[in-house]
Amino acid sequence: MSLPYTALHTFHLAVRYGSLKQTAEHLSLTESAVSHQIKRLEDKLGYTLFYKSGRQLKATPEGALLAKELEQPFDHIDQMLLDKKPHAHKPITLYCLPSLLQPWLLPKLISFKENHPNLELEIRYHASSPEYLDEHSLRLGSYEANTCPHYPVIPLFSGETLPVCSPIYLSQHSELNSINGLLHADLLHDHSSHSWEQWFTQQGMRLQQPASLIYEDFHLLKMATQAAQGVALCPEFLIQQDIQQGTLVTLSEHKGNLGRYYGIERNRYAHHNVCQLVDYLSQPEK
pLDDT of residue 167: 97
Residue 6's alpha-carbon distances to 19, 27, 28, 33, 153, in angstroms, are: 17, 11, 13, 11, 31
Q: CB under 8 Å to 95, separation ≥6 — which residues?
A: 124, 125, 126, 128, 129, 137, 138, 139, 140, 141
pLDDT of residue 26: 82
pLDDT of residue 157: 95
pLDDT single digits (tens) 68-88 = 888 778 777 766 665 555 445
- Hey, is 109 helix, strand or coil? helix
Q: Are residues 231 and 183 in the same domain?
A: yes
- Report the domain count for the chain: 3
**Boundaries of domain holding 50:** 5-73
pLDDT of residue 87: 44
Task: Show the low-confidence residues of the chain (pLDDT under 70).
Answer: 1-2, 78-89, 211, 285-286
- What's the rounded Cα separation, in Å, for the pair 189 and 105? 24
pLDDT of residue 56: 75
pLDDT of residue 286: 62
pLDDT single digits (tens) 107-156 = 999 989 998 898 999 999 998 888 778 888 999 999 988 877 778 899 99
Q: Are residues 188 and 204 in the same domain?
A: yes
Residue 79: inside a domain: no
Kindly tell me the burial class for residue 15, based on how many C-beta atoms sit within 10 Å of its own C-beta (0-12, 13-18, 19 or more).
Answer: buried
CB burial readout 76-89, b (16+ within 10 A) else e: eebbeeeeeeeeee
pLDDT of residue 255: 96
- What's the rounded Cα separation, in Å, for the pair 42 and 52? 15
pLDDT of residue 86: 47
Does the global pTM surpass 0.85? no
Q: Are residues 147 and 273 in the same domain?
A: yes
Residue 169: inside a domain: yes
- What's the rounded Cα separation, in Å, for the pair 201 and 208? 11
pLDDT of residue 267: 84
- What's the rounded Cα separation, in Å, for the pair 169 and 84? 60
Q: Are residues 148 and 172 in the same domain?
A: no
- What's the rounded Cα separation, in Å, for the pair 113 and 123? 13
Residue 256: inside a domain: no
Last residue of a domain, one of 40, 73, 106: 73
